[in-house]
Amino acid sequence: MDNGNKHGPRLDEQLHHEVESLTRGAPVEARAEPEREQQGAADDEPAPDALIHRHETSRDGALTHDEVELRSDLARHLRLSDFPARPARLLELLTERSAPESLIERLRQVPDWEYETVEAVWEAMGGNRERRF
């Protein structure tokens, strides 16, 4: 008897996982897996950007585009289960997870303390805390 399902349980589970952030009400898809990350613009195409443009100074507590990208990279490559941790361990994890070199270089400059959260690491790297309204 055919129940109308065109694929098996394994594929159903995979498809469910891919759209879970949308079905739970998130406004955008989660892109935690590298294959789900949005591609950048082509060589001669402008990149759509609602953030402050690169190299502009932040205003009214907003983060610059570079700060948002760096903070996102940090949060994407470090997990809650990685903490608490010292910089040496975090550098090891970032290297294993193919984090951008710019992120690794900034982390090499933080004091050798034990950090409890990604936010604590971000602030030690000199990152600004954005103001919420």
pLDDT tens for 9-27 read 888 787 777 767 666 655 5
In a domain, 75, yes or no: yes
- Please tell me the predicted confidence (pLDDT) of residue 22: 61
In a domain, 30, yes or no: no
Cα separation of 45 and 21, whole Å? 29
- Please tell me the predicted confidence (pLDDT) of residue 106: 92
Residue in the block written with tokens 């608490």: 84
- Please tell me the predicted confidence (pLDDT) of residue 51: 45
- Please tell me the predicted confidence (pLDDT) of residue 50: 47
Q: Give residue-wise pLDDT tens across range 39-88.
A: 677 777 766 554 444 444 445 567 777 888 889 999 999 999 999 999 99
- As given in the structure block, the two tokens for residue 55 are 């190299």
- Please tell me the predicted confidence (pLDDT) of residue 6: 76
In a domain, 104, yes or no: yes
In a domain, 113, yes or no: yes
- Please tell me the predicted confidence (pLDDT) of residue 96: 93
- Please tell me the predicted confidence (pLDDT) of residue 74: 92
Query: What is the domain extent for residue 79?
Result: 65-124
pLDDT band at 31 (very low <50, low <70, confident <90, very high): low
Q: Give residue-wise pLDDT tens across range 88-113.
A: 999 999 999 999 998 999 999 999 99
pLDDT of 1 higher than 90:
no
- As given in the structure block, the two tokens for residue 133 are 């309204």
Q: Where are the alpha helices (DSSP H) in 24-132?
A: 65-77, 87-96, 101-107, 118-124
Q: What is the DSSP letter of 115?
A: B
Mapped onto helix, strand or coil, the DSSP state of residue 13 is helix
Q: How many domains in the chain?
A: 1
- Please tell me the predicted confidence (pLDDT) of residue 127: 85
Cα separation of 107 and 126, whole Å? 10
